[in-house]
Structure 1
Amino acid sequence: MLKKVTALSDLKEILQDKTDEEIVFTNGCFDILHVGHIRYLQEAKAKGDFLVVGINSDKSVQQLKGKKRPIVPEMERAEMLAALEMIDYVVIFAEVTAKSIISELKPDIYVKGGDYKIDELPEAEVVAEYGGRIELVKEVKGASTTNIVAEISERY
């Protein structure tokens, strides 16, 4: 599974050979994997031929979610995602947003959850610049790492 976890430079080379396929890219923290993630990733994959998932590094997760996160280290999060059949490749990125990695990869389709609005996505401008499209997929209400952590904290 770890061969599906790749560096950005290697991924760019791999994607050069995929010119006849629609490349889908999505990103997130994916800290504690849950059913919301699975359904989201299945929908993302259904939008194209080849799904690449970018995950925030541990440092960028801390910047986004606070110093107590992530709970699961980046290489373990990457390994779990790589084990999912709908994902073709996983890449870890250090920035808080995916703007830089999207501008490097230029996927045909950028997917985010339905809890976002396209015009509020920091990545929207980058995707528009190279002519890609953004698709939102329905979120699973209540399914979040934050809710899981709160539930565990409350119960134990």
Structure 2
Amino acid sequence: MFIRAREKILSHMQLAEMCNKYREQGLCIVFTNGCFDILHPGHLRYLEEAKAQGDILIVGVNSDRSVAMLKGPKRPILDEKARAELVAGLHCVDFVTIFDTPDPLPLIELIIPDVLVKGADWDEHAIVGRDVVLKHGGRVYRAPYLSGYSTTGIIEKIRGE
């Protein structure tokens, strides 16, 4: 069945309802998040690795405001709706939501994923939402980092820096 990328972008409340439905079916819910400003092979491989950790992959995409807070005033390059749609269009992603908080903790507390995924470049104890997921019997997975790809590096190359 073909599902358009835009149809996979849900509000937080729609996502919570979907998680409850899938949890009742015994499916494993995986969550990760990021800015995904300019998609590259590192993003794809990271999200494929996240999907391999369970049945349903949910991706939280930082809002434009939160990207600017994290990355500076010249970011994001693509707006939040475009970034969410591109991520939703990837074969390994089941659902996407945009979050406007400095970090995804409120979203993690709402959906309580079974697996929380971040890149191996993150210290496990610094992963936001770790305690929530572990408290509910879930686990944290640190996906391998693919060197040679970064949005910042791509932007610098385009600008000739």
Give the corresponding residue for 2:40: 34
Q: CA deviation at 1:15?
A: 1.2
Give the corresponding residue for 2:59: 53
Instruction: Provide the TM-score with structure 1 as the length reference.
Output: 0.96
Q: CA deviation at 1:130?
A: 2.5
Q: How large is the RMSD of aligned CA atoms in angstroms?
A: 1.1
Give the corresponding residue for 2:106: 100
Give the corresponding residue for 2:83: 77
Give the corresponding residue for 1:89: 95
Question: Identity over the aligned pairs, expressed in percent?
Answer: 45
The question of whether the paired residues in 2 share the 8 Å contact of 1:97 and 1:123 is answered with no
Provide the C-alpha distance between the structure 1 equivalents of 2:64 and 2:137, rounded to a whole number of angstroms.
31
Q: CA deviation at 1:125?
A: 2.3
SS at match of 2:157: helix
SS at match of 1:103: helix
SS at match of 1:131: coil
The 4+ residue runs of structure 1 with deviation greater than 3 A are: none
Provide the C-alpha distance between the structure 1 equivalents of 2:55 and 2:132, rounded to a whole number of angstroms.
21
Q: CA deviation at 1:16?
A: 1.1
Structure 1 residue ranges without an equivalent (≥5): none
Aligned partner of 1:17: which letter?
A: K
Provide the C-alpha distance between the structure 2 equivalents of 1:93 and 1:17, rounded to a whole number of angstroms.
21
Structure 2 residue ranges without an equivalent (≥5): none
Provide the C-alpha distance between the structure 2 equivalents of 1:129 and 1:154, rounded to a whole number of angstroms.
47
SS at match of 1:47: coil
Question: Does the alignment pair 1:6 with 2:10?
Answer: yes
Give the corresponding residue for 2:132: 126
1:42-67 residue CA offsets vs partner (Å, 9 max, x unmatched): 00000100000000000000010001
Aligned residue pairs: how many? 155
Give the corresponding residue for 1:23: 29
1:85-122 residue CA offsets vs partner (Å, 9 max, x unmatched): 11000000001211110010000000001111111223
Provide the C-alpha distance between the structure 2 equivalents of 1:69 and 1:85, rounded to a whole number of angstroms.
26
Aligned partner of 2:123: which letter?
A: K
Instruction: Provide the TM-score with structure 2 as the length reference.
Output: 0.93
